[in-house]
Amino acid sequence: QIFRSGQPSERNFPFIETLGLKTVLFLSPDPPNQTFTDFLFEHGIHLEHLPPADSLERASEMVTEGTIVETLKILLNPDYYPVLVCCSVGRHRTGTVIGCLRKLQNWNL
């Protein structure tokens, strides 16, 4: 299963627990907040932070082709499921990646 959202806050954690996540893909040049990373660690959820903090994406604030490719490699591998794809707000970066995934799955866009 693949889920998407903005960065969850503490009030979302009880619901996030019910998803039984194995992986979180965090698509932002800034790291997720400490409360969220602590939650992931406490629940044994693997965090993939893409892009790396030193990438060129910080300057442009746009998701790059490289980040999309790396993210899709993870999303197309069921070993990472269930997985949550999120970014700071959950619209632009997350929406772009999920749109690319849907295109690969032959969805009508």
Catalytic residues: 87
Dihedral class, residue 82 (left if φ above 0, else alpha if ψ from -120 to 50, else beta) = beta
Element (H, E) at 23: strand 23-27
For 57, the 3-state DSSP assignment is: helix
Dihedral class, residue 61 (left if φ above 0, else alpha if ψ from -120 to 50, else beta) = left
